[in-house]
Amino acid sequence: MVKKTVILVVEDEALIRMNAIETLEDAGFATVEAGSAGDAMKILELRSDIRVVFTDINMPGTFDGMRLARLVRDRWPPIHLVVTSGLALPTAEDIAAIGKFIPKPYRLEHVIATIRELLDGNASPEPAIKAA
Instruction: Examine residue 126 and state whether it is found in any structural domain, yes or no.
Output: no
Q: What confidence score (pLDDT) does residue 99 get?
A: 84
Strand pairing class (50-56; 6-10): parallel
Looking up residue 51, the CATH number of its domain turns out to be 3.40.50.2300
Average pLDDT estimate for 34-41: 96
Distance CA 99, CA 74 (A): 12
Instruction: Examine residue 129 and state whether it is found in any structural domain, yes or no.
Output: no
Residues near 20 by beta carbon (within 8 Å), at least 6 away in sequence: 9, 11, 54, 108, 111
Averaged pLDDT score across all residues of the chain: 89
Instruction: Examine residue 58 and state whether it is found in any structural domain, yes or no.
Output: yes
Instruction: Examine residue 24 and state whether it is found in any structural domain, yes or no.
Output: yes
What are the pLDDT digits (tens) for 16-34?
999 999 999 999 999 999 9
Q: What confidence score (pLDDT) does residue 129 get?
A: 40
Helix extents (H) in 47-107:
65-75, 92-98
pTM: 0.89
Query: Domain of 41?
Result: 6-120
Which residue has better confidence, 45 or 2?
45
Instruction: Examine residue 127 and state whether it is found in any structural domain, yes or no.
Output: no
Confidence band (pLDDT; 50, 70, 90) for 95? confident
Instruction: Examine residue 128 and state whether it is found in any structural domain, yes or no.
Output: no
Coil, strand or helix: which one is 2?
coil
